[in-house]
Structure 1
């Protein structure tokens, strides 16, 4: 089992101090209702030509510069998640030695082993008593490295975090540009006076053991899935995420049926970005969810499920378009609470789906090339599907989190293995 040793630990200060006028960053209603967790990205790279001391210096200097633009990540969340005191405390930065080759991590069948490249007990933990941003540089015995970043979901969502990482990498490569994030989400979703009562239930870490595996859908297999959907339904131009999520959902249902001996209704939650109509450079939380249900076994078939998913998307877009802007946060909260209530009542099997595709994460280059693997730590909630672009950019990877017993069944599904394959790397 890989173990780690902390070589150094420091706070990275901002290259330029935050102006007094920006010292108090008001959080939006969307920010406030989010469960305050650190969500954890990790990027793995083959052995760079630079020395580890040079790599660390590049990361530290560029992090200092990018924090001047993403200043709330260097502050402190205050007053029950209502504002960030942008006091330039800085971001935590760890330099860590890991006593195994990187291939031992990347070739392991389960994604759980990547936890070694994150600060201990930090992924998916509370952001209330920790820095909003914690970075770790991990170097392996083989010379390979990993760069991980745990960011406060209270301050930024998945889209915002990818913008931050892309801008950080660009600065590290000395690209001549100036990041332009706007921390103005509260102007679109202002915090309400009774916000303290409008929060989601706290997510508790499960008593069951959850595990995660990453699977790859090649471009050709995605094309095959799209053909199956279009030839057997009225769906036109299904997306990569729609057909891939439909398949993993179906495999999840089959797994559940084999375990219980009967079909159980399902609910799948898809997270969608509200940019646009919110401006693309708006940082913070600006997402909504689509809830798609199946009440019969026939509805889990790919053509039927994708058709229903597209219908649900269209209905949500129409509803949001016609809705007063001030009502969008409350509607989003209502949807999220409905999903949480269903999870608690156990009236149907719930699957959670979100996508990080088309965000450029597979291209993150700090100056020593693109990553061979982009991933997150194992999610604390089961039946979770998280999609990424694969390193080539043509296909798509999905990180699947299930209970340990369910994974043993799920990973042997013949239809899954016909269209997707476990992700491993022969990296030394």
Structure 2
């Protein structure tokens, strides 16, 4: 008779094989159909999940499920942090900070208020729903904007906001979960805790990111310069674990660690060219694999009986999120920063960009695993938000930029004419 450890390892291996094979197949299918890959990954999860083939079930793989969601979210935040350029960020830092804090809080409360009225659930759970879907997604926005011709200022603001607000959304979500699990609510103490959690996460990320950058750099201190990819994984894991052990945000720590590593050239720290290319390829492959895993697992979490019961209110909440919560929260947040000198077209564009993705998916999956009350409803609304924002907003982002004449080619052509 096999031991529990052997059975558990086989189950984890089975989970990985199923997810990777289906991810590759449906990723190829997304290329053929010209649809966002994450949408097809969710479809793959639904097929593998308990309502179709029943090959993957969260109750069957609780530890593997939780590990993939936690590490996947942390590593993708690290990857998002690496895309942030500090010199550009410095020019729009107040816009990014206000969007990632005030914007997320406003979006959480506006969406939560309407969810409370629409779903008729306790306000604290409606607020939890609002916090889960309040953030945007760097793993979707980064590749999207790499292929767009808008200004670097606008591009970096949207990417930076998405990375920062993922961390803020995760912090707010877990703060609300703490209250649900028995804590008491105080606006003052909750705000202070959010501040301490954020600053603590930033400090941990700076320390770990600096240490990793020094150890892999191409100079006399780079004792581990042959292992940049391995050290990145160590850094992500260490940032998250140290942050959580100290009672601060592990997700924020992972993101800041990525930002420090991505801008280490400013401190005269560079990688050898061969190590840089190797790490870049490894990072891209691992990020794709983790995105596959998270979205496929989200698909397995979708409960069709709940979705069938709440599809109309879910649509209504997503409508509120896109056309009410995001425009209001973005407009107020952007208006605070007068130094950035945003024009009306740029403001309108930022008010319309809010793709839901990896971190909300991971948070929704974690709540299913943690058996938080109303987690099934929250997961269903998250699923609806991901599908709609990725198929509707992500696919029209380039067209909207051209309509608003933010596309540099379009603008230049018209000025010459």
Higher strand share: 1
Q: Same fold (TM over 0.5)?
A: no
TM-score, structure 1 normalization: 0.23
Return the structure number with greater helix share: 2
